[in-house]
Amino acid sequence: MGSIHELDTELINKIAAGEVIERPASAVKELVENAIDASARRISVEVSDAGEQLIRVSDDGSGMAPEDALLAPRRHTTSKIASAEDLFSISTLGFRGEALASIASVGHLTLRTRPREAEVGTEVSVKAGVPQAREIACAPGTVAEVRELFHNTPARRKHLSSRQTELRHIVDLLGRYALSYPEVAFTLLSDGRELLRSPGDGDARAAVLAVYGRETAKALIPVTFSGAHLTVRGFVSRPQLTRASADQQSIFVNGRLVSNPVISRAVDDAYHTLMHLERKPVVVLRVEMPPGQVDVNVHPTKREVRLAHEQVVYQGVYEAIRSTLQERQLIPEEKFPQTEMRLAGFGASPRPAAMVRDAGPAEVARPLISGEQQAALAAPVTAVEGTGRFPSLQVVGQALSTYILCESEDGLCIVDQHAAEERVLYERFRGQRYATGLKTQALLSPAIAELAPAELRILEEHMPLLRELGFGIEPFGPGAVRVLTVPVVFGRVQDAAFLHDLLAELLASKELAREQREERIMRMACRAAVKANDILSLEQMRKILEELSRCEMPFTCPHGRPTLFRITSHELERRFKRIA
Which residue from 234, 208, 212 is spatially nearest to 221, judged by alpha carbons? 234
pLDDT at residue 496, as a whole number: 58
pLDDT tens-digit profile of 254-278?
998 888 889 999 999 999 888 877 7
Distances (CA, A) of 154 to 128, 149, 532: 17, 10, 62
pLDDT at residue 347, as a whole number: 35
Which residue from 468, 488, 472 is spatially nearest to 528, judged by alpha carbons? 488
pLDDT at residue 15, as a whole number: 46
Instruction: Specify the amino acid at residue 316.
Output: G
Q: What is the largest CA-CA distance in the chain?
A: 107
The single-letter DSSP state of residue 465 is H
Alpha-carbon span 518 to 372, nearest angstrom? 45
Alpha-carbon span 34 to 122, nearest angstrom? 17
Q: How confident is the model at residue 78 (pLDDT cuts 50, 70, 90)?
A: low
Backbone angles phi, psi at 44, to 5 degrees: -115, 130
Strand, helix or coil for residue 540: helix
pLDDT at residue 362, as a whole number: 37
Alpha-carbon span 280 to 436, nearest angstrom? 33
Query: Is pLDDT of 202 > 90?
Result: yes
**Element of type H or E holding 235:** strand 231-237
Q: Please state at what angle helix 514-525 crosses helix 453-468, rounded to 10 degrees.
A: 100
Question: Is 92 or 434 the better-scoring residue by pLDDT?
Answer: 434
Span 359-365, average pLDDT: 37
Alpha-carbon span 299 to 258, nearest angstrom? 11
Q: How confident is the model at residue 519 (pLDDT cuts 50, 70, 90)?
A: confident
Question: Is 307 or 516 the better-scoring residue by pLDDT?
Answer: 307
Question: Is 381 or 539 the better-scoring residue by pLDDT?
Answer: 539
pLDDT at residue 438, as a whole number: 75
Domain annotation for the chain: domains and CATH numbers: 9-197 (3.30.565.10), 213-327 (3.30.230.10), 378-580 (3.30.1540.20)
Burial group, residue 139, by CB count within 10 angstroms (0-12, 13-18, 19+): middle
pLDDT at residue 260, as a whole number: 87
Question: What percentage of the chain has pLDDT greater than the value 90?
Answer: 39
Alpha-carbon span 480 to 254, nearest angstrom? 58
Backbone angles phi, psi at 150, to 5 degrees: 65, 25
pLDDT tens-digit profile of 215-230?
889 889 999 999 888 9
Alpha-carbon span 305 to 257, nearest angstrom? 10
Sign of the alpha-carbon dihedral angle for 167, 170, 172, 175: negative
Alpha-carbon span 58 to 168, nearest angstrom? 20
Out of 145-159, 383-397, 477-491, least confident range: 383-397
Span 348-369, average pLDDT: 38
Q: How confident is the model at residue 153 (pLDDT cuts 50, 70, 90)?
A: confident
pLDDT at residue 458, as a whole number: 84
Span 408-426, average pLDDT: 91
pTM of the predicted structure, to 2 decimals: 0.70
The single-letter DSSP state of residue 25 is H
Helices (H), 509-575: 514-525, 538-549, 569-575
Alpha-carbon span 467 to 341, nearest angstrom? 55
Question: Is 579 or 284 the better-scoring residue by pLDDT?
Answer: 284
Query: Is pLDDT of 409 > 60?
Result: yes
pLDDT tens-digit profile of 18-39?
456 889 999 999 999 999 999 9
Span 449-461, average pLDDT: 82
pLDDT tens-digit profile of 92-143?
675 555 788 889 888 999 999 999 999 999 999 987 778 899 999 999 999 9
Instruction: Specify the amino acid at residue 103.
Output: I
Beta bridge partners of 482: 448, 474
Q: Round the average pLDDT of the chain to a whole number and report it.
A: 81
Cα 407 from chain centroid (whole Å): 33
Span 320-343, average pLDDT: 72
Instruction: Specify the amino acid at residue 479.
Output: G
Query: Is pLDDT of 344 > 50?
Result: no
Highest mean pLDDT among 208-212, 493-497, 503-507: 208-212
The single-letter DSSP state of residue 380 is P
Alpha-carbon span 517 to 431, nearest angstrom? 16
pLDDT at residue 413, as a whole number: 93
Strand 42-48 versus strand 54-59 pairing type: antiparallel
Query: Is pLDDT of 544 > 60?
Result: yes
Q: How confident is the model at residue 341 (pLDDT cuts 50, 70, 90)?
A: very low
Residue-wise over 181-207: b if at least 16 C-beta within 10 A, else e? bbebbbbbbbeeeebbebbbeeebebb
